[in-house]
Chains A and B, each alone.
Chain A
Amino acid sequence: MDDKTNPQSPSSFNRRSFLAGAAGGAMFPLAARAAGPTTTTIPSTQDPTLPVPVTLRVNGHDNSLNIDARTTVLDALREHIGLTGSKKGCDHGQCGACTVLIEGRRVLSCLTLALSAQDHEITTIEGLSNGVRLHPMQQAFIDQDAFQCGYCTPGQIMSAIACVKEGHANSDEDIREYMSGNICRCAAYPNIVAAVKQAAPEILSG
């Protein structure tokens, strides 16, 4: 039976009882860290009507934010921290424009909750250069003319660095397969493959 047919069902979900059940009777979720009666591992809980404090470590810097629990890493970066390099293309994990590294792994920041990314090192396009010299992959994208409008480029570059480090830049075919999660509407693909090939040896030797 589907409960949608009866929204007033007495058995339907109640946030109050959920919080009480999960947090041993504590009503205010931000203070709900006290041990419950039957367990020692109490997950943190949070009231959806209140902002949540979260610290995101981005490019080596801690950022303390108060955000809606629904905030993705992408929106936290762009709207709260001011790092607009990571781009919002589809916002559904289909285009790759939002690709960042979390603990060195390339992931889609649009499908990662900021709350899930706490305690993890996030690297964005802004964190690649030391301020004097471009990262080899950034330089390679310029050298190979690997973009036209540039909107997908930060995601391409983040993905390309991971692609190289994963060991998937050994052939054109390999690069195309393992870069397929980054869509380029301008179709700069041949130049992107060339850029990945150019930067790979320097990244792997560095």
Chain B
Amino acid sequence: MRSFAYQRAADPAAAIQALAAASAGNNPLTEAEIQPLAGGTTLLDLMKLDVMRPRAIVDINPLSPAWATVSLENGNLRLGAMARMADVAANPEIQQNYPVVADSLKFAASAQLRNMATLGGNVLQRTRCTYFRDISYEACNKRNPGSGCAAMDGFNRTHAVLGTSDKCIATYPGDFAQALIALDASVDITGRAGTRTIPFAELHKAPGDTPQLETTLAPGELISGFTIRGRWPRSAYLKVRDRQSYEFALASAAIALDVEDGTVRDARVALGGVATLPWRARGAEAELKGQKFDDALAERVAEIAFEGASARSHNEFKIALGKRVVARALHQAVTMEI
């Protein structure tokens, strides 16, 4: 790990001030030379791998009391960005009213990592693409723009089939983000100019020609919280992986439904493990709305969710697997007791 200057921010104002110089150099957020440290589970890992090389770290953990509150008021859920994954997953109100949120957190990582990682850091978690994480591979457009993509013709079994470009097929690794995008969450972003609020769907960027630009967050800005409007008790997160626990998704689905007398009134479908960014399947949602739910509908919806998917040599199976995950998750959500 390269050396860095460490400082601890006592409160949000101090953090924003300490991070202000991060915008110098016009680097993408992930290359900014000053990085905030929260749970550290991604940042310190990637610093040890020499993938991230900040020259200064601002420890924002003292912001936890101010930015870690979780509240459910007037049917809206507000999640502070410094809340730890484990605490939110264990919250009975969230388990009852937003099972997709609780389960997306519960099925992620390990108990230790969930105790450490914050919600804000979690959505910014970086890809597990081997060629990105191992700097001995020169070709990585995300890490080294313009160098090519070693995954294209490499071992790409875990790579994305949706939202890919000819520059990058790295999978977005998180789970919680799928719940947020499915439920139309908004995200509060705090910086020197104050706090701005954007739809969560506008936080992440598809790789396109610039896979090094992963989010619309600017250097020096911090995620301060998330808001989900309305309750979604009929919601589920299904995650399929190579082992039963403590593994990234090969394919996952975040589903939220409003069903009355067997007819779907509203539907949300988001996919994980198969796309380069948190992925909302709007075509699939449109197909569900107003329909009587049955097996045929679930299969049709699953087909639509993967329209336009494109595989490389080792990840073709993800398209078939992903469709089955969508269909099974829909069944799970429709039949759950609420």
Is A22 a contact partner of B45 (Cβ separation < 8 A)?
A: no
Smallest CB–CB gap between B74 and chain A, Å? Answer: 30
- Given that A113-B59, A115-B59, A159-B112 are known contacts, is A43 also in contact with B9, CB under 8 Å in the complex? yes
Identify which of residues 1-22 in chain A touch chain B, using a CB-to-CB cut-off of 8 Å: 1-5, 9, 11-13, 15, 17-19, 21-22
Residues of A within 8 A of B24 (CB): 11-13, 17
Instruction: State whether the Cβ of A105 lies closer than 8 Å to any Cβ in chain B.
Output: yes
Give the CA-CA distance A91 to B47 in the complex, in Å: 12
Is B21 a contact partner of A45 (Cβ separation < 8 A)?
A: no
Is B6 a contact partner of A176 (Cβ separation < 8 A)?
A: no
Instruction: State whether the Cβ of B137 lies closer than 8 Å to any Cβ in chain A.
Output: no
Number of interface residues of B (CB under 8 A): 51
**Among A15, A19, A159, which residue has its beta carbon within 8 angstroms of that of B111?**
A159
Residues of A within 8 A of B49 (CB): 92
Is B33 a contact partner of A12 (Cβ separation < 8 A)?
A: yes
Is B48 a contact partner of A91 (Cβ separation < 8 A)?
A: yes
Q: Give a binary string over A143-169; 1 marks a CB under 8 Å from any B CB, 0 the rest.
A: 000000000000000010011001010
Sampled A-B contacts (26; CB under 8 Å) = A3-B25, A4-B31, A4-B145, A11-B25, A11-B26, A13-B34, A13-B56, A15-B56, A18-B34, A18-B56, A21-B20, A39-B17, A41-B9, A41-B14, A41-B17, A43-B8, A44-B7, A47-B5, A69-B6, A106-B115, A107-B115, A111-B116, A113-B40, A113-B44, A166-B90, A181-B246
Other A-B contacts than A3-B31, A12-B33, A44-B7, 19 sampled, CB-CB below 8 A, are A2-B27, A15-B5, A18-B55, A22-B17, A22-B21, A41-B14, A41-B17, A48-B4, A49-B3, A92-B48, A113-B6, A113-B40, A162-B111, A166-B111, A180-B110, A180-B246, A181-B111, A181-B112, A182-B110
Residues of A participating in the B interface, judged by any CB pair closer than 8 Å: 1-5, 9, 11-13, 15, 17-19, 21-22, 29, 39, 41-49, 52, 68-70, 72, 91-93, 96, 99, 105-108, 111-113, 115-116, 159, 162-163, 166, 168, 176-182
